[in-house]
Amino acid sequence: MDEFQRYVERIPKIHLHCHLEGSLRAQTFLELTERDGISTRYRPGEDVAGPRDLDRVYAFADFQEFLLTFAAVSRALATPADYARLAREFVDDARAQRVVYGELFISPSVWAFFHPRLDLGEAVSAIAGELKAADGAEFRLIVDVTRNFGAESAMRTTLLASQLEDHGVIGVGLGGDEARFPADLFEDVFAFARSQGLHCVAHAGEAAGAESVRAAIDILRAERIGHGVRALEDPSVVELLRERKIALEVCPTSNFLTGTTSRERPHPLQDLDAAGVCVTIDADDPALFETSITGEYLYAARNVGVDALNRFILNAVDASFLDRESKQALRGRISAELRAAGANALGDVRA
C-alpha cells in the first residue's frame, strides 16, 4: 500500500453522483435473478430464461449496452424488500469507505416499467428506512426521470418525487439516453419540479457533446451537471460552467468504460479543474463499473495530486443541497480530517 492509498482510505468521502441501483452487489444480483428465474442480461423482447454468465456478471461494451445492464439490474429488484436490501448493503459498503454524506439517484420510472404492480412509494420508503439507520453518515435521494420514457412519464415521476420529502427526496435528475432525448423535451417537467421546491440536476456532456451541457443549464436550469466532461469541446460552455459556478459530478472510471473519454490518455478532469470549473469526484454505478468511491478518489490523487483531490471533496460539500449551516459544519469537519490524514499518511508526497 503506497502513501496515496493510505491517505485515501483515511479521508471522509461524499457521494453526489451515485445511482443506488448501480451499487447492487454482483452476488446479490445473481441471487435475485436466480430466485426469480430471469436472465442476468436484458434486451427488449428477450426470453427472460436466457443464459447466465457467471464469469463476469456485469458486462457491456459501450454506453448503450451499459443502459441494458442497468435495465437488467432494475428488473431484478422486484419488491420493497429487495430495495431495502439494496440500501442496507449500500450503507454497509459506504460506511466501510468512510462516506459521510451522499445524495443518491433512484429511478422509480424504471422500476415501474419492469414491475407495474410495485408500490413505488413503499419501495422508496424501504430505501429511506435503511438510509436513515446509517450511523455516522447522512443520505438524501434524488429521483431520476428517464429520458427514454418521454415527458409524460417524467412528469408523473416528478409528481411522485414532490410527494416524498418525508423520505428524504430533495430533487430530480435527468438520466437515460442523452443523445436521442434532448433537454428541451423536459423543460416543463423541470419547471414543475422547481415550483415544488425540488432541486434540479441533469446528466449531460456524457453521451452527447457540449451543447447538451448548455441545454441542461439554459433550458432545465440544472444546478449541477452529471459528468459534463464533453463541455471541453466548446470553450464557451466551459466558461458558462465557470461563471455560474455549476459543479460537474465527474466519474472517471464510468467515462472510460462507456467510451465518453479515451482510455489512451488521462481523464480530462485536470483540464476542467485548470479551467476553473467546479469538479467533484464520484463513482456513478460503482458495482456495475467494478469500482468504488475509494477507487475514484485514488485515481484522482494519483493523477492530479492530493491537493486537487482535497479541493474536489470540499467542492462536493459546497455543491451539495445541504442548508448553509449544515454545509459549514460538514466543511469544517472534513477540512480538519483532511489535514489530519495528510499529516499522518502522506509525509512528503504532495502534487
End-to-end CA separation in angstroms for the chain = 18
Buried b or exposed e, range 266-277, using 16+ CB within 10 angstroms: ebbbeebbebeb
206 is catalytic: yes
SS3 per-residue string spanning 138-193: EEEEEEEEEHHHHHHHHHHHHHHHHCCHHHCEEEEEEECCCCCCCHHHHHHHHHHH
Query: What are the C-alpha distances in Å from 145 to residues 8, 80, 148, 167?
Result: 33, 20, 9, 17
Among residues 21, 103, 130, 206, which one is catalytic?
206
Strand, helix or coil at 235? helix
How many C-beta atoms surround the C-beta of residue 54 within 10 A?
9
The four Cα atoms 294, 295, 300, 306 give a dihedral, to 10 degrees, of 40
Ramachandran angles phi, psi of 192, nearest 5°: -65, -45
List active site positions. Answer: 206
